[in-house]
Amino acid sequence: MPTEILMPALSPTMEEGTLAKWLVKEGDTVSSGDLLAEIETDKATMEFEAVDEGVIGKILVAEGTEGVKVNQPIAVLLEEGESADDIGETAAPKAEAKPEAKDEGAEADDSAGEKAGKAPVPREAQPGPVDGPAGKSDTRAPAAPKDAEGQRIFASPLARRIAKDKGLDLTKIEGSGPKGRIVKADVLGAAEGGAAKAQAPAKTEAPAQPQGGKPAMAPAGLSSDAVLKMYADREFTEVKLDGMRKTIAARLTEAKQTIPHFYLRRDIRIDALLKFRAELNRQLEGRGVKLSVNDFIIKACALALQSVPKANAVWAGDRVLELKPSDVAVAVAIEGGLFTPVLKDADAKSLSKLSSEMKDLAARARDRKLAPHEYQGGSFAVSNLGMFGIDNFDAVINPPHGAILAVGAGVKKPVVDADGAVSVATVMSVTLSVDHRVIDGALGAELLQAIVENLETPMVMLA
């Protein structure tokens, strides 16, 4: 029967989005991996891909529609041999499926859930086309099987076809789709690795989720009506909250309410760093490379996390995860909010490589073209407001990170040398905000000392 395509959850925090543009029209034939639509999430504009083949029978949500809830039907997919006449009531948005719904309805809901429950992944990360009849079969999907107790095994039509062609027993495969539904990835995972379960991508992000699985909301305060009444006699402009601003509000409220922050502050002399940077930039000019102070800060933090591995950690609800690589997130301001793209394996990359990656990520962040995997993860973050003339500030930890370094401007100041003489030096003030659940005071001080040493003796970062 016709299958609903639901609004997908393209990031762990997404609850609704804007259907920016349809890339298909009614009557188009689509296959797994074909682009269906562009969807604006709370962070970026993402392309949504089909996970099954069929014909677009009806588009339910017009492009440009805002506030489309996750799992709301947005289109109807017809299988082989079906026509628009078969759509019937499927095209009408409906409430959650009830337990007593009959099998056919449950299958339609589950199949639609399969389409909505998976975030798109880069094409190179997707399973390749299935060779032989499993990829394109001229036969109908076999009937849904039943387990030993006679209970129906829910699986998508494509999953049933692939399982039949590969001789796999669906009762031995655990589904990762909504309501435990077996989807294509589960069958391919069982076929390729002999594993009984292909885990859903979202599950790898579980430690990043606040307890309860949803962003913490702000405590009850003055209602919007009460605030509007308070300023009724004053001129103002009312600004509607977009998805990004709602997410920032929720996550930072969660961070300040649930993370026991403490703060460590240091002044860093960066004259040697500035001289070293200028010399490197002169030598790299022919290659079109220009290193920023922030590139050195990222590298210094990444190496410090390797020097103090206990501090390279995240909070995971009921445990701490100590990471091996240094994945450093960097705050990038964009119009209406910010992104924190993650530079993975930053400790192992050269300064020029970090610089080029950071420029690329920052440019795409400002265009809201980052994929979720590019701004999720990491154990540590850097927020630099020095270019705005800010001397120092305290940054809010981005959960589940263990710490974040707030960087101020380099300022000429009088300093006392080791021999007691007073001289002038360029001093940069930094503040390390630390999650006390993950990192204790002495460990945090050790991490910050390692960062300071790397920046004050920058040559060691090339060793």
Counted residue by residue, the chain has a size of 463
> Exposed e or buried b for every residue in 394-421, given b needs 16+ CB within 10 A?
ebbbbbbbbbbbbbbbbeeeeeeeeeee
* CA atoms of 83 and 77, how far apart (whole Å): 10
From the candidates 261, 373, 401, 436, which is the catalytic residue? 436
- CB of 215 closer than 8 Å to CB of 254: yes
Q: What is the DSSP string of 378-412?
A: -SEEEEE-GGGT-----PPP-TTBSEEEEEEEEEE
E-state strands within 60-118? 65-69, 73-78
Reported as type and span, the H/E element at residue 127 is none
> Buried (b) or exposed (e) across 273-301, using 16+ Cβ within 10 A?
beebbeebeeeeeeeebebbbbbbbbbbb
Verify whether residue 373 is a known catalytic residue: no
Distances (CA, A) of 47 to 40, 153, 195, 215, 382: 9, 31, 30, 24, 29
Residues with a catalytic annotation lie at 436
